[in-house]
Amino acid sequence: MKAAWYRSNGLARDVLEVGDLPMPQPGPGEVRVKLHTSGVNPSDVKSRLKRPLIAERIVPHSDGGGVVDAVGDGVPASRLGERVWVWNAQWQRPLGTACEHVVLPAQQAVALPDQVDFDAAACLGIPALTAVQAIHLAGPLQGKTVLVTGAGNAVGHCATQLAVLQGATVIGTAGAPARQQHARDAGALHVIDYQRESVAARVAGITQGRGVDVVIDMDFASTAALLPHKVLKPHGQVVCYGSNQAGEVAVDFRTLLFESIQLTFFLVYELTPTDRARAVQTLTGLLDAGQLRLAVGQTFALDDIAAAHEAVEAGRVVGNVVIRL
């Protein structure tokens, strides 16, 4: 089968290769998916750049969409021909979705609603599930004001939609004008240009000094610096799924203590089985009801995987980057 891989960390054009690999066969409890699409996420870029390799060859990407074309022992034959989306294909495994076929545990291939195409299917595993889990952890949002950082990015675009769906007023942050519009299109009532404006001052003005109830956060290093400036109400909550600064992040303890602020962190790759099942069920319901719009910004052929990685790394594409297989 045709596939892309890398054998060492480095720049996309230096390390990514495209060629042929043996056709994988499903073992007990597994399915094989004939992939139509593979999603490229920022985490895939970071892994290729600097995450230590767990095998001699890494086929990247965790997300994708396709059709089950083989099943292992213990998996019902009725799953053959099923349209699916996949999650965690390359998490702690060497073989991801940048290939024509992937084998993985049956539960990691989820039935795809008929009205959802394969391009959109490649946007579900990381971006959409992260947004669903973040909104769940934030609790009921009816009547609340929510600050979504990076509201013009893939996760933020989904989280904004879901917060609005619950009846929240969303303030989003975004940089480039196209990303600002993307945040508005998702339902953000206010959009702050974090590159040119003071986020704390704008939030204070919008909320009349009260602050927001919840922050759905993609960059804790930046958000931690905002907390002493009363961006968040007393007894408010930060739900965080990432940070642009690795390692230690300074947090003002006095602010956390005297404002009774709750910090909640999660990694979408490591959801508990209960949380994963609930998030998948919630996402399926949203897709069935047509209540979540998934934005594909640009598609590439597998032969152009280096360009796809470069597009994600440069942040120049608004919407998800998808490889068609």
Q: Tell me: do 263 and 138 sit in the same domain.
A: yes
Do both 115 and 12 map to the same domain? yes
| Residue 277 pLDDT greater than 90, yes or no | yes
Q: In percent, how much of the chain has pLDDT > 70?
A: 100
Same domain membership, residue 149 and residue 101: no
Q: What is the pLDDT of residue 245?
A: 84
Q: What is the pLDDT of residue 181?
A: 98
Are residue 18 and residue 131 in the same domain, yes or no? Answer: no
pLDDT digits (tens, 9 = 90+) for 145-166: 999 999 999 999 999 999 999 9
- b/e per residue 302-315 (b: at least 16 CB within 10 A): beebbbbbbbbbee
Number of domains in the chain: 2
Residue 97 clears pLDDT 90, i.e. is over it: yes
Q: Which domain holds residue 144?
A: 127-269
Mean pLDDT of 14-35: 98
Tokens encoding 27: 């073992």
CA distance 232 to 211: 5
Q: Give the CATH number for residue 265.
A: 3.90.180.10
Task: Name the token pair of 244.
Answer: 């642009």
Q: Is residue 285 part of a domain?
A: no
Q: Is the domain of 117 the same as that of 137?
A: no
Residues 225 and 146 in one domain: yes
Contact 183, 147 (CB under 8 A): no
Same domain, 48 and 15: yes
Backbone angles phi, psi at 254, to 5 degrees: -60, -40
Structure confidence at residue 290 as a pLDDT band (50, 70, 90): very high
The answer to whether residue 132 sits within a structural domain is yes
Q: Are residues 67 and 149 in the same domain?
A: no
Arithmetic mean of pLDDT over the chain: 97
Q: Which of 101, 114, 124 is nearest to 31 (CA)?
A: 101
Instruction: Classify residue 30: in a domain, yes or no.
Output: yes
**Same domain as 218, residue 203:** yes
- Which residue do the tokens 């994963």 mark? 276
> Across residues 170-192, what is the average pLDDT?
98
What's the pLDDT band for 120 if we cut at 50, 70, 90? very high
Instruction: Give the pTM.
Output: 0.97
**Do 298 and 168 fall within a single domain?**
no
- Res. 171: pLDDT tops 90: yes
208-220 mean pLDDT: 97
Residue 63 lies in a domain: yes
Tens-digit pLDDT profile for residues 223-270? 999 999 999 999 999 999 999 888 899 999 999 999 999 999 999 999
Are 103 and 109 within 8 A, CB to CB? no
Confidence of residue 53 (pLDDT cuts 50, 70, 90): very high
Same domain for 190 and 96, yes or no, is: no
Same domain, 203 and 225: yes
Q: 86 in a domain, yes or no?
A: yes
